[in-house]
Structure 1
Amino acid sequence: MALPAIEVFKASSQSEQKQVFDHLFEPCDTLANFIFGKVMVQPFSSYQEFIELVRQELIAFVRLSEFSQARNGGEINPIVNQIIAAHPRLGEPKKEQLSVHSSNEQKSLNGDPEVIQKLKEMNETYEKTFPGLRYVVFVNGRSRHEIMDDMTRRINRRNIKLEREEAFNAMCDIALDRAHKLGVKL
């Protein structure tokens, strides 16, 4: 698949635009609705600008949600976790339906049964440490050990606020990489 020209994308129907979102990000109706409401109403002239607007709006949204949570008590806005949880767990492709892009990006992680088992254990630890979240990282070009070291560092840091922001930043870094692979010059 190649992405349509940015002008064509902007003029497309919502269902066609959602197909592009699903290629750049992981398929997620919650994220699509967020993008329609917060990003598609703003001006942008390239996919890079579009993705950076998504990043800006997601980071602003998570910070506002955390401020509201701190001020009023209660839980973080569930939309935050729904968007982050749309990403697949690393190293567990058999349990989840991976997008074509995630499958290709995770190829280097799959193969060694010991690594797969270790990633499964680390995913469980991560999700117990950060309920409602998934570990999201830009995998492409990084070794299994680099990924596991990063996951360990983030688990040990135990800072859910930073995790949410890192997840949104990683999602947008992944989207930029996918756009490039889908023929967009960045």
Structure 2
Amino acid sequence: MATDAPLPPLSLIVSSSPEPTSHLTNALSLLFEPSPPLTSDLVPQLESALLKSTSPITTYTQLIETALEIIRSWPDELKARFIAAHPRIGEVKSLSALSAKEQGQTGGIVVHPTPSEVLARLAHLNKCYEYRYPGLRYITFVNGRSRAVIAEEMEDVLGISHSLSPDQPPVETLGVVEVGSEEWRRELYRAVEDVGKIARSRLSALGVQ
């Protein structure tokens, strides 16, 4: 599925087009990143909501908000699989065009070079986070911030010292947060909201409302 093409006209999504599902899938994949839950759950549920709605959707901003309402209603396990579609912070390969731009690349060219030690640190922090919060992936709205700043943010979330070490603290020394606990769910819900912020930012970057 091509997720780097322009958004289809909203009229194709909200009309009785013969292929509304295809248009909606392409649009949501661009804004939220493609994933199995997006295809199997979000698209049909959003289609149903659009058909039942007494207030027509007239902007992509409204479409995003309606999609987020549906995502917030999902079971935690489905939410976790949905956010896992976003690339890890610091990944540089197999990114969609918008993800690459958000992470400092354009057309395969690094426009905001990140020191190798910061990338190594981020790789370790991702492992630490996913060990501490089983089933979750660290998601944050980058909003123009450097990867070095995001690394410090991740360290603060994990409660560890700021460092450029590629392997400290050892992953196994971190406590594991129980799946479904208040802390685990707080991180999950924060990630969902940041996915929403990313989608809105992508919409703005595309010059669409």
Q: 1:8 aligns with which of 9, 12, 15?
A: 12
The aligned length equals 169
Aligned counterpart, 2:91: 92
Identical-pair percentage: 32
1:101-134 CA-to-partner distances (Å, cap 9, x unmatched) read 1111101775310110110010010010111111
- CA apart distance, 1:138: 1.0
TM-score, with length taken from structure 1: 0.81
Moved more, 84-93 or 138-147: 138-147
Distance 1:117 1:110, change over 3 A: farther
Q: 1:126 aligns with which of 116, 124, 129?
A: 129
Point out where structure 2 has 5 or more consecutive residues left out of the alignment: 105-110, 161-176, 178-182
Aligned counterpart, 2:71: 58
Moved more, 34-43 or 85-94: 34-43
Larger Rg: 2
1:40-98 CA-to-partner distances (Å, cap 9, x unmatched) read 2223321111111122222222xxx3xxxxxxxxxx53x2221111111111223xx21
Is 1:33 the counterpart of 2:40 in the alignment? yes
Moved more, 1-10 or 51-60: 1-10
Aligned counterpart, 1:176: 200
The 2-side partners of 1:148 and 1:109 are apart by 15
Distance 1:109 1:119, change over 3 A: farther
Aligned-CA RMSD value: 2.1
- CA apart distance, 1:148: 1.9
Moved more, 51-60 or 152-161: 152-161
The correspondence of residues 110-149 of structure 1 with structure 2, limited to 5 A, is 111-149=114-152
Q: 2:61 aligns with which of 48, 52, 69?
A: 48
Distance 1:123 1:58, change over 3 A: same
Structure with bigger RCO (C-alpha 8 Å, 6+ apart): 1
Distance 1:40 1:156, change over 3 A: farther
Counterpart contact for 1:138–1:174, Cα < 8 Å: yes
Point out where structure 1 has 5 or more consecutive residues left out of the alignment: 66-75
The 2-side partners of 1:109 and 1:163 are apart by 28
Counterpart contact for 2:29–2:35, Cα < 8 Å: yes
Counterpart contact for 1:39–1:54, Cα < 8 Å: yes
